Amino acid sequence: MRKIAVFISLSLIVFAGIAQSAKKERGEIPDIGVAGSVPVPKNNPLTKAKIKLGKKLFFDDMLSGDGSMSCASCHDPDQGWTTHTRYSPAYPTITERRNSPTLVNTAYAKVWIWDGRAGSLDKQALGPMKNPLHMNQNPGLVVEEIRAEPEYVVLFKEAFNGKITPENIGKALASFERTIVSENSPFDKYMLGDKKALGVEAIKGLKLFKGKAGCVRCHNGPNFTDGQFHNLGVPEPTDFHSAGVQTSLRFDLKRTKNRDWMTITSDIGRATITKDKNDIGKFKTPTLRHIAETPPYMHNGVFETLGEVLSFYNAGGGVHPNKSSLLKPLGLSEDQLAQLKAFLSSLTGEIKF
């Protein structure tokens, strides 16, 4: 009987995935629901050896130039796989200008980073290590540092037949990050038939999410994101024009070959990469999985609480000439905002890594 139950459960997940794909092809909003199996690229199949190696690398300060930072410095498991700071931690003496995105369910993403500059998780995993703003490490140097560690030599032999390369470092990190998957949240249990998993307030919030509040227009699918880029008119933090933040902004604009890097003083988001003025101020829709664990919020960490975020949307977003037409005042009551918050809190599940 147990085998039959498992087969039925897996069949439902596969069917749900097929149904979601069909809806996307028809231009419909994909339903929210339980996430299916983790997508894995053909050129980097998951193995226990890669995951074990990737986990060790993820928590190793060796990956930073001065040995002071690891991947976990910005993506802390105890802080929702992000950090509870407005801006991402940065290399010593540097100030970042964006909030660290959570790694929860990052395996389901199509593009990575707030502006979508990374097209694969394997490549994204190497990005912060090489970035002078983040870990400031030379890939060639870290390869030799790893080669000098006997434990790493064994792990690379098991995972990659002994080939220690920057590419394989990225593949190992990505393999570990594909295990950071949320399961068994109250919402998931509810969707799988346990109608007692959500309280009355959360169920009302779910109805608002899909209905009057319209959250599902952007936060849809099993991972609660459309994977697209939108301008919400998010206000800048009061310290955004400080010398440290502006230095990081100019540096990144310069290295991404924006010709106006000397005069731009605001984060232009997706336009940083596309150079398209229509993309100014657009940022990737983040997952809502574990959202209650990942304050502060928005690409710049300007909102400290979920309550502030909900009030922002209730008012119709912020002010910007390029703001999305999807944002309109919602007219939700305080009780309804509390119900939405209760539903969002139900998206926190279990992560085994």
Q: What is the pLDDT along the chain (353 residues), one digit of tens a residue?
A: 434 333 334 344 443 444 444 444 445 788 899 999 999 999 999 999 999 999 999 999 999 999 999 999 999 999 999 999 999 999 999 999 999 999 999 999 999 999 999 999 999 999 999 999 999 999 999 999 999 999 999 999 999 999 999 999 999 999 999 999 999 999 999 999 999 999 999 999 999 999 999 999 999 999 999 999 999 999 999 999 999 999 999 999 999 999 999 999 999 999 999 999 999 999 999 999 999 999 999 999 999 999 999 999 999 999 999 999 999 999 999 999 999 999 999 999 999 98
Residues 76 and 139 in one domain: yes
Backbone angles phi and psi of 239, in degrees to 5: -95, 10
Measure the CA–CA gap between 349 and 189, rounded to whole angstroms. Answer: 10
Q: Computed from CA positions of residues 16, 339, 292, 225, in that sequence, does the dihedral angle turn out positive or negative?
A: positive
In a domain, 74, yes or no: yes
Q: Which residues pair with 269 in a beta bridge?
A: 282
Does the pTM exceed 0.85?
A: yes
155/339 Cα distance (integer angstroms): 48
- Number of independent structural domains in the chain: 3
Q: Looking at residue 278, what DSSP letter applies? A: G
Residues 271 and 285 occupy one common structural domain: no
pLDDT value of position 253: 98
Within a domain: residue 269? yes
Same-domain pairing of 83 and 156: yes
Check whether residue 207 and residue 139 sit in a common domain: no
Max Cα–Cα distance, the chain, nearest Å: 67
- The answer to whether 50 and 122 have CB atoms below 8 angstroms apart is no
As a whole-number percent, the residues of the chain with pLDDT over 70 amount to: 92
Q: Which domain holds residue 66?
A: 48-177
205, part of any domain: yes
Domain boundary among 130, 160, 177: 177
pLDDT at res. 169? 98
C-beta separation of 207 from 215 below 8 A: no
State whether 208 and 302 are in the same domain.
yes
Nearest 10 degrees: CA dihedral of 316, 319, 323, 327? 0
* 248 and 320, same domain (yes or no): no
Domain shared by 125 and 208, yes or no? no
Beta strands in the chain (DSSP E): 229-230, 283-284
266 inside domain = yes
Q: The CATH number of the domain where 129 resides is what?
A: 1.10.760.10
Q: What is the pLDDT of residues 272-295, one digit of tens each?
A: 999 999 999 999 999 999 999 999
For residues 196 and 316, state if they share a domain: yes
User: Are residues 264 and 298 part of one domain?
Assistant: no
pLDDT digits (tens, 9 = 90+) for 208-253: 999 999 999 999 999 999 999 999 999 999 999 999 999 999 999 9
In a domain, 65, yes or no: yes
Angle, CA 161 vertex, CA 159 and CA 163 arms, to 5°: 95
Same domain, 225 and 265: no
Residue type at 295 in one-letter notation: P
